[in-house]
Structure 1
Amino acid sequence: MASVVELTYYPVKGCAGASVGEALLTPAGLAHDRTFMVVGEECVGRTQRRDPRLALVRPTVGDDGERLVLHAPGVEALDLRVDTVGDRRKVEVLGTVHQGIDQGDAAADWFSEVLRAPSRLVRVPPEHDRVTDGRIPGTSAYADSCALHVVSRATLGLLHRKLAERGLPPLPMNRFRPNIVVDGWDEPHTEDRAHRIRIGDTELGYAKLAIRCAVTTVEQETGAKAGPEPLRTLAGYRRATEGGVAYGTKYAVLRTGTLSVGDTVNVTSWGESEL
């Protein structure tokens, strides 16, 4: 029987995740997931594609969302009161313009020091009404696209076997930065075909395959790029028809509720893989 074995939300886009035993599922994904984003001087969102040092930042958000605490090696931790009412500014996520609430000079100085480049921190405003793409539309905060990213341990296990065939070591799951990790599916990439899923009192709907980028080549513990893997190996067996490689699946939230590690994962509708 398949079940949830990991739940992770990422308070600041591109930064380290926070693993939890239980999480509220909102229409935009796990509570507090990618509600903050670091932007450069042109107000374009920073990601690990160009700023791998984001991985060194370990953010935590209070349950009420009113405080954000930031940790990174070599700098003093910063405890922020979250601003949800300040002036809005235009910010860009992968070419699309949204609104953000600037979180002040202390946060800007802190991230500028950690990333060694002028930066500011913004929060998604309460009126954020983004519509995400995919087979089932939904919403999300500053995630690249859909609300939830799901990967199974069987899928990672197949990658490990492919890497071993090339004499390469296994990679940790955090290279793929999933929100939900599922165990108990025998076949790798079962998440490609699981088009409707019930977990506890929540329901997820298939949106699209996750097309992977250079973030998967960043060591999440060190914030350094570590060569061409896993993209080189994935290109040998997971090429997507529209280009790139597919690994994991994106879902929209059909019914909100509470998710817990240990919850049973029930697939209520199956479909064909789009790969």
Structure 2
Amino acid sequence: MAEVVELITYPIKGCAGVSLAEASLTEAGLPHDRAFMVTNEDGVFRTQRRDPGLALIRPQVDPRGERLTLSAPGAEELTVAIDTVSARRDVVLFGAPFQGIDQGDEVAAWLSDTLGVACRLVRVPPEHDRVADGLIPGPSGYADSNAVHIVSLASLDELNRRITGEGGEPLPMARFRPNVVVDGWTEPHTEDGARQITIGDTELGFAKLAVRCLVTMVDQAKGIKAGPEPLRTLARYRRAPEGGGTVFGAKFSVTRTGTMAVGDTLAVGSWDGPPPAR
């Protein structure tokens, strides 16, 4: 029986995750997931692909969703009020235009000093209406695509079996920045075939396989690039069917909001083809 063993939200795109014991799932995913985004002064998003130090910035949103606290090694902790009403500014995510609410000069200066490059911080405005595509499309904040990213421990075990078999070091799940980590499936990549999933009283619909990028080569504990794994090994056995890179994990859209928690059973209501053998 599959169960949820980790829930992780990433309030600021590209920054460290926050582990949750229980969460109220919204149409755009776990609470505050990718609700904030670091940009350059022109509004173009910053990413670990170029700024791996983002991984060391630890954001925390207070329970009322009114204050944001940032911490990082060697930096003084900063807490600011979250602005949801100021004028919108243009931002760019993967070449697509969106709007964001700038969170002010104080947090911009903190981020700029911490990362060593000019930064601004924006928040998704209330009227944000982005819909990520896929088999089942769905709302999304500033995530790369759909709202919920699921990876199983069985998939990571298989990847690490291949990496260590070639003399490499096993990788932690943090390299893949999932929202939901699943244990209990015996076959790797079972998540790829799930089409409708219930966790607690929530429901998720399969959108697409997760195409992996250079961020997976960033050591999330050190904030430095540490490749060539996992992309080297994934390229040998996990090529996207249509030739669109390597894949690991699956993206889902939220089809019913509700509450999910660590320890909840993950039930698959439908599969792409016959269900896996047990």
Q: Give the TM-score, by structure 1 length.
A: 0.98
Which whole-Å CA distance do the structure 1 matches of 2:227 and 2:147 have between them?
29
Q: Give 1:272 deviation, angstroms.
A: 4.7
3-state SS of 1:112 partner: helix
Deviations 1:67-112 (A, max 9, x none): 1000001110110100000010010111111100000000100000
Q: Distance in 2 between matches of 1:225 and 1:43?
A: 24
In structure 2, distance between residues paired with 1:223 and 1:272: 40
- For residue 243 of structure 1, report the CA deviation from its aligned partner: 2.0
**Alpha-carbon deviations, 1:220-258, whole Å to 9, x = none?**
011000021000000000011232100000000000001
In structure 1, the residue matched to 2:66 is: 66
Q: 1:157 is matched with which residue?
A: 157
Corresponding residue number in structure 1 for 2:146: 146
Partners of 1:166 and 1:152 lie apart in 2 by: 22
Residue ranges of structure 1 left out of the alignment (5+ in a row): none
**Counterpart of 2:25?**
25
- Corresponding residue SS for 1:191: helix
What amino acid does structure 1 have at the position aligned with 2:43?
C
Q: CA deviation at 1:214?
A: 0.2
| C-alpha distance in structure 2 between counterparts of 1:251 and 1:179, whole Å | 10
2:41 corresponds to:
41
2:85 corresponding residue in structure 1:
85
Q: Secondary structure at the match of 2:54?
A: helix
Structure 2 partner of 1:242? 243
Distance 1:242 1:94 in 2: 20
* Cα distance in structure 1, aligned partners of 2:76 and 2:247: 38
Tell me, in whole angstroms, the C-alpha distance in 2 between the residues paired with 1:52 and 1:135.
31
Evaluate the alpha carbon distance shift between residue 125 and residue 51 of structure 1 in structure 2; reply closer, same or farther with a 3 A threshold: same
Amino acid at match of 1:51: D
- Aligned-partner SS, 2:130: coil
Q: Distance in 2 between matches of 1:242 and 1:13?
A: 27
- TM-superposed CA distance for 1:42, in Å, is 1.7
Superposition deviation, residue 199 in structure 1: 0.6
Q: Residue deviations 1:46-77, cap 9 Å, x none?
A: 11011100001000011221110000011101
Runs of 4+ in 1 over 2 A off after TM superposition: none
Question: Which residue does the alignment assign to 2:202?
Answer: 202
User: What do residues 153-212 of structure 1 show as CA deviations (whole Å, max 9, x unaligned)?
Assistant: 000000011011101111000000000000000110000001100111000000000000
Which runs of 5 or more structure 2 residues have no equivalent in the other structure? none
Q: Secondary structure at the match of 1:29?
A: coil
The size of the alignment, in residue pairs, is 273
| Residues 1:118 and 2:118 are matched in the alignment | yes
Report what 2:217 is aligned to.
217
RMSD, matched Cα: 0.9
**Counterparts of 1:63 and 1:242, CA distance in 2:** 43
**Aligned partner of 1:251: which letter?**
F
* Secondary structure, counterpart of 2:11 in structure 1: coil
- Distance of 2:187 and 2:108 partners within structure 1: 45
* Mapped partners of 2:256, 2:244: distance in 1: 31
Partners of 1:24 and 1:77 lie apart in 2 by 27
2:262 match: 261
Q: Which AA in structure 1 matches 2:165?
A: E
Secondary structure (helix, strand or coil) at the match of 1:236 reads: helix
Residue in 1 that maps onto 2:272: 271
TM-score by length of 2: 0.97
Q: C-alpha deviations, 1:123-151, integer Å up to 9, x for none?
A: 00011111111000101110011000000
SS in 2 for 1:49: coil
